[in-house]
Structure 1
């Protein structure tokens, strides 16, 4: 009984207390306003989960600046509706929707194969899609859902697109990988012998673990790219607490409270997208300046595990093994 309480209740309490801390910090600080960004004509971007929320605002802004943007998502109706709205708003927008289900490694491979067959450049990859606090379940390939969707699916997507990113990058105009993370990573843990959270499942803990894994991947990828002299950078971004559908799996009392006050206390999707867009587009973040962890428009330090080179490498190698790469 005590073990079950420790397994399920403690991670939830930690996450909600962290959420309260982040919310208070947001309320008493000025939110970051995106400076004017340069035109992106001729550039191609892929944004996962770009049909709604933060991802939609990222796609919308990039399209307005002239980029060719591919919304990658599993909900075709939602994605096509997003394309229509953006094209109605900006008549010259170049936006399309392609199917990508991050819970299926086969879908990820099919998406990449279809993209590469078109021989397009790839200048920006925004790994934005994610799930939070979903009930216990497995992806098509048998991975815990948070780990499989938030982390492993994006790991495979990025790995398979690296050649295209490298080919499109050049001196002064690096290609960029932007991983949309969360402050929840700071209470996550990486158990290499239990990445699927089989020993003790908590949706709250699984979400935090997946976001830490994503941050470790982002950091290690950037180091590998810089050491190899590749014209690609990788960073992670915390958009803050944003009023999106991501919170629909909160505990019922909190979900009711959230629906009542979210529009007053949380950031709008456009505000949440500001730092993501800055990381993806700002000329100030070229090359080695493009790595790190960003929140509210600033590079921030984060928890010690994210700087552990051995943990980064171990997770990287384990992920390659899990994916058969």
Structure 2
């Protein structure tokens, strides 16, 4: 009975949270991105840039003159640590600077499965692969940033982090799998990483900022693993309740490009174009550090 409820509870919590977000979106206007200055000379990497929110981010950046490198799963398999290493090696061989890294690619509610490295898929793709990608590109980001024109790391998260729990003893969900719990854990892990990274960069005096962004509930392929009746309802009501990919991309672009967020104004958690408060675990310094150190060990970086 306990196992049944421990599996069902994350499902109930996530769908109730989703309903709350949908109602909020129904009665509020989406954030509209202000006119941004030209960004000629900047180089950006956007994971998952071939569709959905990522595509809209890439399209807008390109219009502003950014040299955007679109990272798709077929070119960079975030579920494969070897693939991440190979991508970064290939990028560095081009000797390009890097001013913006948008960690956008993700999976949601996928069936239980393991990567070639033995990690649970949500944890691997949404969090661990992006952790490694960011870590390997940090020197390039630091070299490109300068006083008054910081490089930026933007981590695309979700309101689902609010009900996530970090199970340091079982990050890969081996002691009972729930797709809903695994997804929420991966999104909370993103925020913990983003916050701790920003603090580390500030302490080191490096010209790089890190922040997390919640784009809202957006009409993309991310929801294809929803329970069938909900997926059908989502398809029918998408135009009424869900944001368009362009609307979802607005806060991501704001965090990545806005001059108003330069330097010390960076960092934090952003939604609807504003810095917002989030759940207490996100600010827990011991939890941040424990997850950081555990991740380094899992990735063989320590």
Which band: TM-score by shorter chain? over 0.9
1:9-49 per-residue CA deviation (whole Å, 9 max, x = no partner) reads 11111000000001111111121000001111000000000
Partner of 2:46: 47
Determine if the alignment matches structure 1 residue 305 to structure 2 residue 281.
Answer: yes
Give the C-alpha shift of residue 146 in structure 1: 0.2
Partner of 1:140: 116
Q: Detail structure 1 runs of 4+ shifted over 6 Å in the superposition.
A: none
Give the C-alpha shift of residue 320 in structure 1: 0.2
Partner of 1:79: none
* Count of paired positions: 301
Partner of 2:69: 70
State whether residues 26 and 240 of structure 2, in contact with CA within 8 Å, keep that contact through their aligned partners in structure 1: no
Give the C-alpha shift of residue 263 in structure 1: 2.0
Equivalent positions of 1:164-313 (< 5 A) are 164-313=140-289
Partner of 1:118: 94
Give the C-alpha shift of residue 198 in structure 1: 1.0
SS in structure 2 at match of 1:200: coil
Partner of 1:159: 135
Determine if the alignment matches structure 1 residue 29 to structure 2 residue 15.
Answer: no
State whether residues 242 and 267 of structure 1, in contact with CA within 8 Å, keep that contact through their aligned partners in structure 2: yes
1:319 and 1:128 map into 2 onto residues whose CA distance is 19
1:221-241 per-residue CA deviation (whole Å, 9 max, x = no partner) reads 000000100000000000000
1:181-208 per-residue CA deviation (whole Å, 9 max, x = no partner) reads 0000010001111000111210000000
2:162 and 2:106 map into 1 onto residues whose CA distance is 17
1:235 and 1:139 map into 2 onto residues whose CA distance is 27
Give the C-alpha shift of residue 7 in structure 1: 2.5
Partner of 1:87: none
1:6 and 1:157 map into 2 onto residues whose CA distance is 36
Partner of 1:314: 290
Equivalent positions of 1:90-129 (< 5 A) are 99-129=75-105
SS in structure 1 at match of 2:199: helix
1:149 and 1:60 map into 2 onto residues whose CA distance is 23
Give the C-alpha shift of residue 252 in structure 1: 0.9
Give the C-alpha shift of residue 4 in structure 1: 2.8
State whether residues 243 and 266 of structure 1, in contact with CA within 8 Å, keep that contact through their aligned partners in structure 2: yes
TM-score normalised by structure 1 residue count: 0.92
TM-score normalised by structure 2 residue count: 0.99
